[in-house]
């Protein structure tokens, strides 16, 4: 259950600390006092989107925090474990949300930072919140199907069916793709074959273009390269007047000089180093010149090879990598087109098998739903009869859907006959918001028992009801609260009187600023609050006496 809700700098609330107890916790207050702020704080903690405009004027951030005490922490601990978080310590769970005026914010579970999707998952296990406009969802067939599936605990059957349906959708989409008009298949295959053959015949090789271009550069100037290279070799080593020939006398002179002059000891070696380097350079040049191919036929081949690369890149480039990609995709596309008939047959075979599986899983889901509907309808009928529809009957009509849907093979229609002699009508045909609110309360009561959600929150579930019906709603909320914690915001004194605990939301002006406070009421204060609800701002003796009688009657009930 929820034990503590703290709110700071949210809307009109500067600081509020509300302690909740087991049973029926009632929240009342004048219109505009800020009761909805508490619901807004809860929705933030349950992972809903935050609006920075809700932050109290002049503040940089708002903080909301809730402490839960869990009797059955296992489901929550399982979710925490999936996110790598520690389990609840002694069943205590603390959720905290910070929303910043500059945008963004933070969320924490037991002081560990978490994402909003995790808050939503935990919220689904902790709180079932019903607002004044949620009854509109009861008019939607898919929402009705969700309600039935939740009661039936059909999650496993629904997941198996959904997986088969997704596969069926994928296969039918592929079938449509294969059946789509792709033009003249033979013409497309011929075009792809030509493209593949052109690239394959050219036989491009990764890195070859750079080598060919370098060789072509050399071959194009082969004659001049040979002339210049030979000139260097002759001048260095081969001519009678070459550098090495001219240095031979100097080498002999240095050898004799080294014997006569101590300072000249290293000179012969230095000269030998230079002459050896010159000889090595000459040999290198000769070796490179021997590799020069001045054959015009080789140059023509090089020119043609480069032209081939340039042509491929113009058509399928701009880079050689694009040419290889074109070859790969063209081969795959041609194989796809050539195997089109085979693929159609294979896909059709898979579709037939998947449709059979879909039918089997859909029927299993239908059986689960049918069994649940046979229990849910009378259970809701009993709740509605306790809410003032003495002869009312709630029904669930299941019928086959025209085509398979993501939710199964079924259509569902919730129907209600509020009075004897009236025909059964779909819920969407019920015009009275008071009637539909009680239907929602009846459903919530039954579903909460099935789901074992620890906290039910009703925000003005009693809207547009009064008189004896208001007393019935109050008694029903009290009955539900006997099995789990309930928080109810109400404007009706008979409903408020049924609460186990009572908080009043009050608005004051201090130092020119409006502030909302939440006050826990004792017995005397409860009588005054109920009297205010009965008679307005001024509590008369009659209103006070009536309020005391309401409390006494609620306790007796």
Residue 418's φ and ψ, nearest 5 degrees, are -75, -25
* DSSP letter (8 states) at residue 91: T
Contacts of residue 77, defined as CB under 8 A and 6 or more positions apart, other chains included, come to: 87, 88
pLDDT in tens, 237-276: 877 788 888 888 888 888 888 888 888 888 888 888 988 8
Q: Are 63 and 16 in contact (CB under 8 A)?
A: no
Domain enclosing residue 555, as ranges: 523-557
* 416: in domain: no
Same domain as 223, residue 294: yes
Total residue count of the chain as it appears in this document = 557
Q: What does the pLDDT read at residue 464?
A: 66
Residue 197 has pLDDT above 90, yes or no: yes
| Average pLDDT of every residue of the chain | 87
| Domains of the chain: total | 3
Residue 249 CB burial class (10 angstroms; 0-12, 13-18, ≥19)? exposed
Same domain, 326 and 282: yes
CATH number at 111 reads 3.40.50.300
Decide if pLDDT at 376 tops 90: yes
Q: What is the pLDDT of residue 539?
A: 63
Q: Which of 266-280, 371-385, 435-449 shows the highest mean pLDDT?
A: 371-385
From 320, 338, 356, the end of a domain falls on 338
Do 144 and 138 touch, CB atoms closer than 8 A? yes
Q: Are residues 98 and 58 in the same domain?
A: yes
The reply to whether 430 falls in a domain is no
Is 3 domain-assigned? yes
Contacts of 457 (CB under 8 A, 6+ apart): 39, 42, 127, 128, 129, 130, 486, 487, 488
pLDDT in tens, 144-162: 898 899 899 998 999 999 9
Most confident residue range from 227-231, 343-347, 518-522: 518-522
Residues 193 and 329 in one domain: yes
The answer to whether residue 99 sits within a structural domain is yes
Statement to judge: residues 283 and 325 lie in one domain: yes
Phi/psi class of residue 189: alpha, beta or left (left: φ > 0; alpha: ψ in -120 to 50)? alpha
Whether residue 306 is contained in a domain is answered as yes
Question: Which domain-ending residue is among 338, 358, 375?
Answer: 338
CA torsion sign, 348 to 354 to 360 to 361? negative
pLDDT in tens, 82-102: 999 999 999 999 999 999 988
494 found inside a domain: yes
Residue 34 is classified by DSSP as S
Residue 112 lies in a domain: yes
Same-domain pairing of 474 and 535: no
Do 517 and 528 lie in one domain? The reply is no
Q: Which of 555, 543, 382, 387 is nearest to 465 (CA)?
A: 387
Query: Which pLDDT tens digit goes with each residue over 215-226?
Result: 777 776 766 777
- For residues 22 and 97, state if they share a domain: yes
CA 68/CA 90 separation, integer angstroms: 11
Judge contact between 406 and 162, C-beta under 8 A: yes
Q: Are residues 194 and 334 in the same domain?
A: yes
Query: Is pLDDT of 322 > 80?
Result: yes
% pLDDT > 90, the chain? 39
Distance (Å, whole) CA 478 – CA 457:
13
- Measure the CA–CA gap between 511 and 287, rounded to whole angstroms: 100
For residue 488, being part of any structural domain is answered with yes
Q: Is the per-residue pLDDT at 81 higher than 90?
A: yes
494, β-bridge pairs: none
Do 115 and 38 share a domain, yes or no?
A: yes
Helix (H) or strand (E) holding 127: strand 127-130
Around 494, how many Cα atoms within 13 Å sit in the side-chain half-sphere? 15
Cα(153)–Cα(141) distance, rounded to whole angstroms? 18
Residue where a domain terminates, one of 287, 307, 338: 338
* Residue 379: Cβ within 10 Å count: 18
Q: Are residues 16 and 111 in the same domain?
A: yes
pLDDT score of 338: 81
Return the half-sphere exposure (C-beta side, CA atoms, 13 A cut-off) of residue 342.
5
Residues 21 and 117 occupy one common structural domain? yes
């Amino acid at each position: 259950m929820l034990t503590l809700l703290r709110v700071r700098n949210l809307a009109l609330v500067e600081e509020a600390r509300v302690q909740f107890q087991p049973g029926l916790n009632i929240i009342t207050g004048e219109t505009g006092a800020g009761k909805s702020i508490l619901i807004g704080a809860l929705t933030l903690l349950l992972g809903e989107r935050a609006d920075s405009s809700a932050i109290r004027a002049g503040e940089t951030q708002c903080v909301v925090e809730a402490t839960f005490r869990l009797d059955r922490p296992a489901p929550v601990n399982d979710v925490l474990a999936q996110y790598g978080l520690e389990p609840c310590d002694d069943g205590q769970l603390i959720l905290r949300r910070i929303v910043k005026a500059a945008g963004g914010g933070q969320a924490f579970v037991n002081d560990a930072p978490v994402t909003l999707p995790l808050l939503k998952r935990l919220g689904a296990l902790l709180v079932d919140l019903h607002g004044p406009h949620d009854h509109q969802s009861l008019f939607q067939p898919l929402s009705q199907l969700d309600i039935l599936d939740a009661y039936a605990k059909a999650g496993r059957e629904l997941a198996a069916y959904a997986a088969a349906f997704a596969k069926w959708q994928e296969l039918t989409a592929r079938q449509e793709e294969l059946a789509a008009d792709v033009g003249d298949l033979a013409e497309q295959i011929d075009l792809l074959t030509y493209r593949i053959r052109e690239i394959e015949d050219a036989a491009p090789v990764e890195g070859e273009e750079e080598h060919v271009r370098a060789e072509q550069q050399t071959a194009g100037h082969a004659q001049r390269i040979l002339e210049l290279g030979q000139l260097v070799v002759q001048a260095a080593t081969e001519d009678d007047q070459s550098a090495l020939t001219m240095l031979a006398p100097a080498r002999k002179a240095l050898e004799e000089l080294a014997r006569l002059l101590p300072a000249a000891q290293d000179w012969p070696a230095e000269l030998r180093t230079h002459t050896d380097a010159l000889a090595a350079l000459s040999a290198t040049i000769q070796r490179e010149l021997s590799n020069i191919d001045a054959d015009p036929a080789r140059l023509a081949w090089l020119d043609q090879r480069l032209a081939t690369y340039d042509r491929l890149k113009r058509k399928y480039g701009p880079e050689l990598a694009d040419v290889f990609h074109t070859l790969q995709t063209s081969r795959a596309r041609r194989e796809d087109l050539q195997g089109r008939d085979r693929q159609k047959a294979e896909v059709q075979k898979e579709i037939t098998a998947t449709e059979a599986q879909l039918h089997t899983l859909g029927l299993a889901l239908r059986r689960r739903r049918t069994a649940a509907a046979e229990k849910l309808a009378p259970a809701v009928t009993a709740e509605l009869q306790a809410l003032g529809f003495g002869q009312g009957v709630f029904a669930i009509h299941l019928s086959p859907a025209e085509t398979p849907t993501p939710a199964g093979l079924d259509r569902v229609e919730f129907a209600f006959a509020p009075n004897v002699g009236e025909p059964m009508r779909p819920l969407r045909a019920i015009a009275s918001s008071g009637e539909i609110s009680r239907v929602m309360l009846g459903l919530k009561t039954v579903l909460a028992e099935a789901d074992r959600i620890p906290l039910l929150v009703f925000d003005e579930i009693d809207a547009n009801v009064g008189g004896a019906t208001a007393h019935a709603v109050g008694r029903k909320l009290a009955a539900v609260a006997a099995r789990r914690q309930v928080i109810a915001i109400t404007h009706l004194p008979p409903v408020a009187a049924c609460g186990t605990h009572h908080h009043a939301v009050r608005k004051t002006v201090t130092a020119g600023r409006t502030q909302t406070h939440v006050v826990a009421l004792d017995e005397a204060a409860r009588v005054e609050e109920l009297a205010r609800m009965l008679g307005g701002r001024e509590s008369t003796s009659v209103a006070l006496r009536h309020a005391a009688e309401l409390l006494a009657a609620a306790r007796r009930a």
